Structure 1
Amino acid sequence: MSSSDGSGTRGPYAKGVQRRKEILDRTLDVVASKGIDGTSLRAIGEAIGVSHAALRHYFDSREALLLEVLRERDAESTRRLDGVDGVLNRMAGAADHNVSVPGLVTMYTTLLATSVEPGNETSRAFFAERFEIARADLAGQLRDELQASGRHSDADLDQVASLIIAAFDGLQVQWLLDRSVDIAGTLRLLERVL
């Protein structure tokens, strides 16, 4: 039996899925307004009207919650940009969206920076896997684009993918410090250079 909303779920499970989504959606607002250092799991719960115990039911730690927000935003970005032609066009589209959500860029950058510190193994594993998947995906897309256009490149496309990711993340940091930095425009320049 399915629910009346057509989701195929019903009862407590559907409510739990919806509640978890609400927590993820609202957490970014809390981080954006209070900063990442001012957001303990308890503070996030209080700000969004969820008990600490209820929040712990869904997420083991603040780090787990924040990383899940990033996972959800990555999936959302992938859906939003599906069908956009060109690797760097998709990345420029992601950049255009990210500048409309500065709290997301701040959270991503902060979590990435702290992932290299001892004691942040969950974040380290998340980002290591995220970069590995992104490099492989980008290199594959670049190969497909070259093949479709009949062009050939002697460049190591895995290294080109690493360069593109480094440019994207570095431009986001520059933008956090100086909002006049044009992330999308610079990525489009990178496409012309490559």
Structure 2
Amino acid sequence: MSFYEDIAAGLDAVDIESRAGGGVLFVPITPELEIQFVEIDPVIPAASVYIAAADIEDDDDDFNAALVAVVFSAEEAVDAVSRHIATDRVVTLLKDLIDGYDERIGDLDFSQDEEDTNIVRAEVGGHSAIVVTAEVEDNEPLAYISFISMPDEEGEGEVLDLGVFRDFDKLFDVISLAADCADSWEEQLLPIDDGADFPLSES
């Protein structure tokens, strides 16, 4: 098989569609973006990997595909596509949280962290925040969520870890629940002294 056929077979094995045409292998990521593989050497083999806008006319001189990688095996090609798809899902999640169009988080105002753009937070309750960190790990999009209560602005605050989610729809349910429980959780979260002695119950 040709290099394109090897890549296409690898993508098909993980349920990712592709199509070949004009010496290029096209892989849609979103309705707006696609990955393009352009073979450099059929013997090594090697192919350049580009990110490009989908449905661009061939004579559109105002757009240039961006070179993002060079791959030397079908496995590397599949890995590159999976990574970009996961990255797009993370970007979409962060945008959805900030825009707040989903009715489950309509009352929350998420803002992006100034130092780490993969972190967003929304103030809830009297002195707390819901914090979501979205990342790509092993080519999978993940979201970490925590509830942070800071009754004292000078203190470190109390952190309630709410888990890691691959299912972003369930993540929105959890965010909604956390917002509803904010006042109650603030009352129940207490500082824990790691050096404190706790009495042992007698048997």
User: Is TM > 0.5 for Structure 1 vs Structure 2?
Assistant: no
TM-score (norm 1): 0.29
Larger Rg: 2
TM-score (norm 2): 0.28
More helix by share: 1
